[in-house]
A and B are shown apart, each in its own frame.
Chain A
Amino acid sequence: MKHITAAVTAVIIAVLASISYAESVTDKRGLTLEGAKKVIAATVAEAKRVNAPGGSIAVVDDGGNLLALERLDQTFAASANISIGKARTAALFKKPTKLFEDVIKGGRTPMIALGGDLQNFTPLQGGIPIEWEGKIVGAVGVSGAASAQQDEELAIIGAKSLDNMEMAGMTNWHAPLPVTYIESQKVVASFTKGAVLVGEDENMMHAALNYMVHASHRDKPGVVEVHELDTDIVYVLKGSAQLITGGTPVGTKTIAPHEFRAPTVNGGETRSLVPGDVVIIPNGVPHWFKEVEAPFDYYVVKVR
């Protein structure tokens, strides 16, 4: 009988567990020591950049409990505990601590008494919550810099640094952009007159913002071009041309921001381009398709 009861109980627990998991508990992200150290490193780097006279930097988890702390040399000793208090206050209220300083300054003096129940309640500017995917996972508190204002500025830089953290070993991680696919028919059609394949205008209004792709076509010579920002990577597909690079453009006009054109150039190097050739023209280098045997088709990647 005892065994049966135990078995029944086990079954009930198992069933309840599967039913109530979703409603009784929830998954959440917690800040690791590794993450806390990165926040501190970013804050310290900023403190050095702006020549802050010192600083204690504390990082707490979402429960307001200290994960890591560093007090820079020559920083007054009391700042250590104040930075913990700022971080703890920001984490437990999920708000920048400046808010409390402002509210109290604005006349709501009784709020100071919160300190009685909340260990280390510190309503002083310089505590900033740390967010990850829209959730508060902790906070950073800074004390001992040049001013309360600078304390906060440093804390903001530190809190933001979490967004830049490496994901699974990736550096320069960012939200992935959509993959671009252009059908061969459209590409061929673009070459018949020449067209921009990717990047709609001179300002590169493409999601990536740092490259454009042109399906270029020429029936006659062009003018001297200088791109202040863009490097052209050219692959010749059809026809041939004389390309002059370098030299000094004569009669230069600005046709768009960072874009210059001229009717001719003094000096420069001449090359004959044929299908299969690749040319890379760095930004700022004048270039001119002086003679063209039409149709001259070439694929260009413009890198900014």
Chain B
Amino acid sequence: MTTKLPLCLTMGMALLATVAQAQLIEKTALTLEGAKKIAAVAEAKARAEGARVVIAVVDEGGSLLFLERLDDTQVASVNVGIDKARTAAIYRRPSRVFEDQVKNGRVSALALHGAVALQGGVPIIVGGKVIGAIGVSGETPGQDEGIAIAGATVAASFTKP
């Protein structure tokens, strides 16, 4: 009996573990280190172009992980950069999509909760999943997005070998 009890417990726990497995999901999360790598590449491109921008990197939930405002960048870009990144993260698509929708007549896209319909936010994708986003603000919409894409591309190197 005394030997059977631990056996029962083990079996029970194993069963619970399988159940728990069904209740939870494995996720890849962006670290600060990863965010910095992404921002560094974006920063290099911005500097090469003489662009004065804010570079914001948010996690999957749209919360800020890393931000830098290059010298002499307009201060308003801080919040715009964060907003673009959050939009791309929580809607899992480039924020340009919503700007295009508005331009093409779907003005109601402006009402999307937590989104800004402004080009320059790009999702960070690892293993086909959006794990965060980078938002850039300060120069023209096209240039902002180009810098953001340069940064987001780095995530391709984060995939497990």
Q: Please determine whether B66 and A33 come into contact, CB atoms closer than 8 angstroms.
A: no
Could you tell me if B61 and A68 are in contact, using CB atoms closer than 8 angstroms? no
Evaluate contact between B67 and A69: CB separation under 8 angstroms: yes
Residue count of chain A within 8 Å CB distance of chain B: 22
Mark out the residues of chain B between 61 and 105 whose CB falls within 8 Å of any chain A CB in the assembled complex: 61, 63-71, 75, 78
Q: A65-B78, A73-B32 are in contact. Are A80 and B68 (CB under 8 A)?
A: no
**B144 CB within 8 Å of chain A:** no
Q: Which residues of B contact A162 (CB under 8 A)?
A: none
Any A CB within 8 A of the CB of B59? yes
**Contact between chains at B71 and A69 (CB < 8 Å):** no
Provide the B46-66 mask, 1 if CB < 8 A to any CB of A, else 0.
000000001000010101111
Majority secondary structure of chain B interface residues (helix, strand, loop or mixed): mixed
Q: Residue on A with the closest CB to B33?
A: A73
- Count A-B contacts at CB 8 Å: 50
Query: A67 touching B68 by the CB < 8 A rule?
Result: yes
Chain A 9-47: CB-based contact to B (< 8 A → 1; otherwise 0): 000000000000000000000001110110000000000
A48 to B67, CA, bound (A): 20
Known: A63-B75, A65-B78, A70-B32. A33 touches B64 (CB 8 A): no
| A77→B59 contact, CB < 8 A | yes
The answer to whether A80 touches B64 (Cβ under 8 A) is yes
Chain B residues, Cβ within 8 Å of A70: 32, 36, 65-66
Complex formed: what's the CA distance from A33 to B54 in Å?
A: 11
Contacts known (A65-B78, A71-B32, A72-B32); A80 close to B69, Cβ less than 8 A: no
Q: How far is the CB of A78 from chain B (nearest CB, A)?
A: 7
- Report chain B residues within 8 Å CB of A84: 64
User: A37, A63, A65, A78: which contacts B68 (Cβ < 8 A)?
Assistant: A37
Question: What size tier do the contact residues of chain B reach?
Answer: 10 to 19
Query: Which of chain A's residues has its CB closest to B67's CB?
Result: A69
CB of A81 closer than 8 Å to a CB of B: yes
Chain A residue contacts of B10, Cβ below 8 A: none
- Known contacts A73-B32, A77-B61; is-contact A66 B70 (Cβ 8 Å): no
Q: A73-B32, A77-B61 are in contact. Are A67 and B69 (CB under 8 A)?
A: yes
Measured in the bound complex, the distance between the Cα atoms of B25 and A142 in whole Å is 32
- Chain B nearest CB from A107 CB (Å) reads 34
B31 to chain A minimum Cβ distance, whole angstroms, is 5
- CB contacts (< 8 Å) of A34 on chain B: these are 71
Contacts of A65 in B (CB 8 A): 69, 75, 78
B64 to chain A, nearest CB (A): 4
Convert B107-144 into 0s and 1s, putting 1 for each residue whose CB lies closer than 8 angstroms to a CB of A.
00000000000000000000000000000000000000
Question: Do residues A71 and B64 form an inter-chain contact, with CB atoms below 8 A?
Answer: yes
User: Which residue in B36, B59, B63, B71 is a CB contact (below 8 Å) of A32?
Assistant: B71
CA of A218 to CA of B82, assembled, Å: 74
Output the least CB separation between A69 and chain B (Å): 4
A binding-site residues for B, Cβ under 8 Å: 32-34, 36-37, 56, 61, 63, 65-73, 77-78, 80-81, 84
Q: Return 17 A-B CB contacts under 8 Å, by A number.
A: A33-B68, A56-B64, A63-B75, A65-B69, A65-B75, A66-B54, A66-B69, A69-B68, A70-B32, A70-B65, A70-B66, A71-B64, A71-B66, A78-B63, A80-B63, A80-B64, A80-B65
